[in-house]
A and B are shown apart, each in its own frame.
Chain A
Amino acid sequence: MRKEIPIAVSFLAGASIVLGFFLNVPFFKVTASRQLLNWAVIVAAFALALGAGNLTRIHVTNAAKRGKHWPYSIILLVCLYGYLGLGLWRGASDSIYQWWFNGALVPGNSTVFSLNGFFIISAAYRTWRLRNWRAALLVGTAILVVLGRVGIGQAMWPALGPISDWIMTYPNAAGMRGIMIGAALGTISLGLRIILGIERGHLGVES
């Protein structure tokens, strides 16, 4: 029963959504699929609580056992529950809540996100080597786009802007589309396997 019930639920839910997409039958199109989608939104919200619970378990244990970086576990728990409490007490539009958001979360996250720029440039330097003609083609194209997207490149050679636009619109989009079609078919295939109960990896058991 541990496997059968989730498989039956997957089949009913998946088939209703698929039928709701194709068939103009009010039960599938409106009642079943709309209700199921609304339920899915609620279930997904519960997943956030599940995540918070898991985080609490790991960090309470770490702090209690004085594990690695345990003071950070305490900071994390204080922030997690303190901010949650503040939000519940004063509401998300409250000025204190917003102050913490704008003063701590935004700059912190933006700082880490900006590391991407540093990493991308240093990784490009390390890996863009003209080892063979294919690598040369890739690096050459990349340089045209890198320069063509910014003012300095366009000032050096005005044709770089349109060239970069052309590369992005045609060869790039064509390649991307090919990958997307393949990946979409993979997704359909996986979805079918789950709906039909063939794929059971997500139930924690070997298929």
Chain B
Amino acid sequence: MLNAGTAAKLVFFCLFMAVVYWGMKAVRRGVNIRTKQLPGLTAIDEAVGRATELGRPFFANIQASGPHIEDQVLASCELVRYAVQSAVRYEAPFMCVSNSPDGHPIFEEIISSAYMAAGKPELYNPNNVRFIGGFSSGTHVQIMQLMKDENIAAQLISGNLMNQTMFFAETGAALGAIQIGATKNTHQMPFLAMQCDYSLLGDDLYAAATMISRDPVRMGCLTAQETGKALALVVIVVGVVARLMGSNAVVDILRR
């Protein structure tokens, strides 16, 4: 019935689902789940504030690594929504650039809806939501030029970041922009940590989207996410101890 080598994964998956369900129920019952503050998230308001003060754009730069929708681009949607809602409130100039052909219409929809919902449709400029496509270095230069032309005040670099991270972060730094970086790609984290004022690294990117909404169902998922980490930690510790004692039992169970 089960595919070979998937039993342990299925057990973990079911446990995860159970914790999501429990978390959702708990939040709906009114249990207050305490979450840590994510400086990278609160920094979005600070960055919008700076853009408002200087009258220069907040630049949401959402990158994908291929011509299809990706989890990190999806997770970035909520960050863009949060940033644009804040920008509309303070009437700060706002720009969004993406190289994701699938993500671009989503960002257009999110940004235009934010202006409509705030009753300021006249401030929405479709040319400020741009698709600058391509996944090769050549097209990154176009974005760097745009950043320079617009003299951006703040930048959110997010998504499935690859070699372009340094190009955008260095350009932003040269323009004196306040920068927030978000990705789960381990290979780009050192650059974001080095160049950005704030960062949302690894699972923080996914947690941020949930924490913006405080929606009970999403908070349940966040609880499951954190419980899963604790469970992984327990399995790692037990596995290491077992291995040191000469037993391969944990590895064998996980391979089943």
Contact = CB atoms under 8 A, between A and B. Distances in A.
A115 interface: yes
B147 interface: no
Interface string A48-61: 10111011001001
Range, interface on chain A: 35 or more
Contact of B137 (A21, A113, A119): A113
A55 B67 CA distance: 14
A186 B110 contact: no
Interface in A83-122: 105, 108-113, 115-116, 119-120, 122
B221 A206 contact: no
Nearest to A183: B184
B195 A50 contact: no
A189 interface: yes
A187 interface: yes
B136 A109 contact: yes
B78, B194, B202, B217 pick with most chain A CB within 10 angstroms? B202
A153 interface: no
A112 B184 contact: no
B89 interface: no
- The secondary structure that dominates the B interface is helix
B140 interface: yes
Interface string A28-60: 010000000000100111011011101100100
B74 A23 contact: no
A186 B10 CA distance: 17
7 contacts: A109-B138, A116-B163, A116-B166, A123-B191, A123-B194, A190-B71, A193-B221
Interface of B: 1-3, 6, 9-10, 13, 16-17, 20, 66-69, 71, 74-75, 77-78, 81, 101-102, 104-106, 109-110, 113, 127, 130-133, 136-138, 140-141, 145, 149, 163, 166-167, 169-170, 173, 184, 186, 189, 191, 194-195, 201-203, 205-207, 209, 213, 215, 217-218, 221-222, 224-225, 228-229, 232
Interface of A: 18, 21-25, 29, 40, 43-45, 47-48, 50-52, 54-55, 58, 61, 68-69, 105, 108-113, 115-116, 119-120, 122-124, 127, 176, 179-183, 185-194, 198-199, 201-207
